Structure formats: structure tokens, C-alpha cells
Amino acid sequence: MIRRIDLRGRAATSAGLDYSALVPRAPFDVEAAVEAVRPTLADVRHRGVEALRDYAARWDDVELTDIRVPKAALEQSLRDLDPDVRAAFEESIRRLRAVSEAELERDSEVRVVPGGTVSQRLVPFRRVGVYIPGGVAPLASSVVMNVVPAQVAGVESVALASSPQKEFGGLPHPTVLAVAALLGVDEVYAAGGVAAVAMFAYGVPAGVGADDSRLLCRPVDFVAGPGRITTTAAKRLVKGTVGIDSEAGPTEIAILADDSADPAYVAADLISQAEHDTVAASVLVTPSEDLAAAVEGELAHQVPATKHVQRITEALSGEQSGIVLVDDLEQGLAVVDAYAAEHLEIHTENAREWAGRVRNAGAIFVGPWSPVSLGDYCAGSNHVLPTGGCACHSSGLSVRSYLKAVHVVDYDQAALRDVAGHVTALAEAEDLPAHGQAVRARFGSASDGYA
Ligand SMILES: NC(=O)c1ccc[n+]([C@@H]2O[C@H](COP(=O)([O-])OP(=O)(O)OC[C@H]3O[C@@H](n4cnc5c(N)ncnc54)[C@H](O)[C@@H]3O)[C@@H](O)[C@H]2O)c1
Ligand SMILES: N[C@H](CO)Cc1c[nH]c[nH+]1
Ligand SMILES: [Zn+2]
């Protein structure tokens, strides 16, 4: 069901050994998907509504009537939401909002010299588009994860899109609509993956050949949200036209564990993320052969009892999943750092200490009572996290994702005069004398004496 990779005896100190090339990885990556989705983005950009309808028919088997979800449908979905599910979403929102508010940084001001200050203003994006996956499962919890930090950051306008669903008349899944309504988001579209990303990045006129002043969807400044590999590739392609959050593609879980781990928990957590997608990755890194064997036994026992047995089996037996055997936890730490998992669980003695030494992971889950599923729904952390090794340079979605920092430079005459000589010297050193002259011009002949 799950393959083994034996890295014992292959310490990181061996010349040229690169663990990132040895850990399990999906054979199809975002870069390969980029070329596949490029024509779709161009098509939505040029044919607008017509292209959105065509892709809904091709990919989601839906004849779209409403691309923009009517307000009445949003309100009805919220009224129909099961009270227990609503209570769970309200608690999830409360916890994430508390964490997001604590993350909100304040503006700062530094008095660099007397009469010269540089301050940093944190400015939220004006308009954001969030994508909620709906091809495999309706990820209504992702509505919370995308929208709450945007609202805490102070984003004025949040638009949301999710896959059209055949069984719901072409609208996104009702639970997705209900959570949008719960959070006060009333601009929601039925558009899947690549088509949704294109709509947000370029905007879409209201009809075929419509006047640009009548837009179905105005372009956004920033696109956030997870999705399958094609959706992630579309985000990579529109980056520059708009900002994007991290590349949050097919789900990954890595678990660093020793003999103290409970194999039933480890197996359950590997299965939980394999449930997302046939290309989801579940990786166990351990120095314990006994644990490896026990987890294999648990997988054989637990997987057949799952609802999505086919999907899970395919994910666990794919090239992207595996049990990696290492000499010890030190080597294990090097391996999980090289892998840079979206989610990393630590099931070891002194788990908190090992967690403190991890450099690369989207989010870290410490000990047996902090499973990834808790973070997926109700920990207060965000579940939109970087995948495909991007955790070595990117962070999960947060309030910070929706803010940009602007430096405000405010010097008076004396403070500029004081530093004018340095500006001129640096401009001359770069053979850009007009830069120096722009300062000199302000001081006329009296400028000769500046520093
Ligand atoms: N990293 C994270 O933070 C995170 C969070 C949640 C989910 N996920 C991942 O998101 C993925 C969700 O899967 P999904 O299928 O619901 O994603 P999705 O919604 O991004 O893609 C499905 C949609 O894409 C469109 N589509 C279908 N075939 C296509 C094609 N060939 N080319 C272009 N577009 C096509 C359709 O409109 C379909 O509804 C899973 O892999 C899951 O693991 C990741
Ligand atoms: N584990 C997914 C990626 O972090 C998020 C999710 C949504 N619903 C359930 N799980
Ligand atoms: Zn999940």
C-alpha cells in the first residue's frame, strides 16, 4: 500500500547528497501544469462569460445560468445550514479571528536623524478574490481560512469563487454559500479552478461584447486560496498581473516519529490527508523499523474501512507517498527540512524541542493531541499552506498575506542638507550624476558646504 525508502547510512554529510531529491514527490509538478493552463487563461481573458460557460460545461458538466450567485441563494443556504455545522463554523471563525487579530502588526515610525523619519504603513489590498476548491470535496472550511484574515486585515472588497456543482443547479455547494453568507461575503461566483483565477485576475465583462463599464466581475488586486495543481499553476501564471498567496496545491502531510509514537494515530493522520486527492502526499519519516511495520499494519487495517477507500489507496500507493527510514531523529530532521512539507506532525519524545528545530514546514503539529485535522478546522491556525517544497520560502495564509508595507519618507531641509554629500557620492559611484544633482539643485551655491 505504501512504499519504503531507506536512507539509513546516507547521512547529509555525504558529499553532494541532497535529501530533497530522495524524498517522495509527485511526478507531475506545477511547472509542467503551467503550459497546460496557459491557453485557458488567455481564453477567459478574451472571451469572458462565454469561456466561463464553456469551461463549466467541459470540466464540471454544468450548463451555467447564474455565474454570479444571487443574493437570495446565499441567504437561503445560510437558513438551510444544519445548526450543529453552523455552530462548528462559528467556533472555527472565532478561533481564527482571535489568532488573526493577534497577528495584526502595527504601523511603525523610526526617527532616523533629527528632522528625518521613515515610517512603515501597513495597507490592506483594496480588492481580493478567493478561490474555494470544489472539484473533489466542497471545502467550506477554506471559506473561513481565506476570508477571516482578509477581513481582519481590512480588505474592502472580497469576492469568492468555487466550482459549479451539477447537483445544485450549477451554483457552488450550498455549505460554501452558507459560510460566505455567515461571513457577510455577498459577491460569489460559480467558476472552477483555472477559470476562476483568470476571472479574478483580468475581470470579466457582463456579457459578450459588453461595454467594459458593465463588468460581471471586476479585476482584483490579489488572488488567494488553495486548489489542485492546475489551479496552482494558474495562480503562478497570473502572478505579476495580481499578487498571489503561496502556492497551496495538493495536500501533503509528513510525520516525524520515533518508537514512542502510537501507530494507530500515525496511520489515521496519514490517511486523513490522503483523503483529499489521489495525488495527495503522505510521508512518514522514522528511525524505527518497528513503528514502520506497525503503521503499515494499521494502514492495511484502517484504509478499507474509510469512505473514500479508492482515493486514499491511490494517494498512499503513489510515488508522492512513502515511509522513509532514517538512522536517527537528527537525520529525520534533515529529511523533513529538505522535504518542506505543507503539514509536519512530530510524534517523538520531547516533541516540542524537535518542533522548535524545524526550519521548513507550512505548519507544525506537536505531539499526539495536535493532529492536522484539528488545524484543518478548529485549531485557530490557517489551513491554506504552501505545498511542493514551497514551505522553504513561503508562509501559510494569514493577515500578513493581505497587507502591503509602504515606507513613508519625511525629511526636513536640514536633515536633507546633512546627508546630501553622501547621496551625491553614491550617485557618482553608480555613474548616475543626475541623482546627485536632484539633491544639489535644492541647495544652490550654498550647497558647497554640505557633508
Ligand atoms: N495546500 C492547501 O492549503 C490546500 C487546502 C485545501 C485543499 N487543497 C488541495 O486542493 C485540491 C482540491 O481539489 P479540487 O479538484 O477540488 O480543486 P480545484 O477546485 O482547484 O479544481 C477543480 C476545478 O478545476 C476545474 N478543472 C477540472 N479539470 C480541469 C482541467 N483539466 N484543467 C483546468 N481546470 C480543470 C473544474 O472547474 C473543477 O471544478 C486538493 O488537491 C487538495 O489537496 C490544498
Ligand atoms: N488539509 C487541507 C489542506 O491544508 C485543508 C482542508 C480543508 N478541509 C479539510 N482539510
Ligand atoms: Zn484536510
Average pLDDT over residues 106-113: 97
Q: Which residues are known to be catalytic?
A: 342-343
Residue 384: all three cell numbers together: 491554506
Q: What ipTM was estimated for this complex? A: 0.98
> Which amino acid type is present at position 325?
L
pLDDT tier, 234 (very low <50, low <70, confident <90, very high otherwise): very high
Residues 387, 362 contacting (CB under 8 angstroms): yes
Environment class of residue 114 by beta-carbon count within 10 Å: exposed (0-12), middle (13-18) or buried (19+)? exposed
What are residue 325's DSSP bridge partners? Answer: 6, 286
Torsion of CA 25, 28, 29, 32, to 10 degrees: 160
Gap from CA of 376 to ligand 2 centroid (Å): 5
Provide CB contacts within 8 A for 251, sequence distance 6+. Answer: 273, 276, 277, 280, 281, 342, 343, 387
- The predicted pLDDT at position 242 comes to 98
pLDDT at residue 399 in the model: 98
Please classify residue 36 by burial: count the beta carbons closer than 10 Å to its beta carbon, then call 0-12 exposed, 13-18 middle and 19+ buried: middle
Share of the chain above pLDDT 90, in %: 92
pLDDT at res. 218: 97
The span from the CA of 201 to the CA of 77, in Å, is: 28
- Mean pLDDT of all residues belonging to the chain: 95
* CATH T-level topology, domain 30-246+400-404: Rossmann fold (3.40.50)
Q: How far is the CA of 273 from the centre of ligand 3 (A)?
A: 5
Q: Which regions of 126-203 does DSSP assign to beta strands (E)?
A: 127-132, 157-162, 187-190
248 lines ligand 1 (CB under 6 A): yes
Grid cell of 41 as nine digits: 487563461
Mean per-residue pLDDT, 413-418: 98
CA distance 261 to 245: 34
As beta bridge partners, residue 205 has 215
Cβ neighbours, 10 Å, residue 97: 16
Query: How large is the greatest C-alpha to C-alpha distance in the chain, in angstroms?
Result: 87
Task: Name the band, by pLDDT with cuts 50, 70 and 90, for residue 211.
Answer: low
The rounded Å distance from CA 60 to ligand 2 centre is 21
Q: HSE of 445 in the Cβ direction (CA atoms, 13 Å)?
A: 0
- For residue 409, pLDDT over 60 is answered with yes
Give 11-49 pLDDT, tens digit per residue: 766 556 789 888 998 877 899 999 999 999 999 999 999
Neighbour-count burial for 179-213, b at 16+ CB within 10 Å, e otherwise: bbbbbebebbbbbbbbbbbbbbbbbbbbeeeeeee
Residues of the chain with CATH 3.40.50.1980: 30-246+400-404, 249-395
Q: Which residue, 232, 223, 227, 248, is CA-closest to 385?
A: 248
List pLDDT tens digits, range 255-286: 999 999 999 999 999 999 999 999 999 999 99
- Rounded distance between C-alpha atoms, residue 378 and residue 371, angstroms: 11
Q: What pLDDT is attached to residue 447? A: 46
Centre of ligand 3 from the C-alpha of residue 349, in Å: 26
Half-sphere exposure of 444 (CA within 13 A, CB side): 1
**Pocket of ligand 1, candidates 231, 238, 272: which has the most ligand atoms within 8 Å of its Cβ, to mutate?**
231
Q: Which three cell numbers mark 237?
A: 501564471
State how far Cα 216 lies from the chain centre.
26
Indicate if ligand 1 lies below 6 Å from the C-beta of 232.
Answer: no
**What residues does 285 pair with on adjacent strands?**
256, 324
Give ligand 2 pocket residues (Cβ under 6 A): 139, 141-142, 251, 273, 276, 376, 383, 385
- Which residues are within 8 A (CB) of 68 and not within 5 positions of it... i.e. 6 or more apart? 187, 188, 189, 216, 217
249-395 CATH: 3.40.50.1980
DSSP per position, 3-69: -EEE-TT--TTSTT--GGGTS---SS-HHHHHHHHHHHHHHHHHHTHHHHHHHHHHHH----S-SBP
**Which atom of ligand 2 is found nearest the CA of 226?**
3
The pairing of strands 403-411 and 281-286 is: unpaired
Mean pLDDT in residue range 314-338: 97
403 burial class (0-12, 13-18, 19+ CB within 10 angstroms)? buried
**Which atom of ligand 2 lies nearest, measured to the CA of 273?**
1
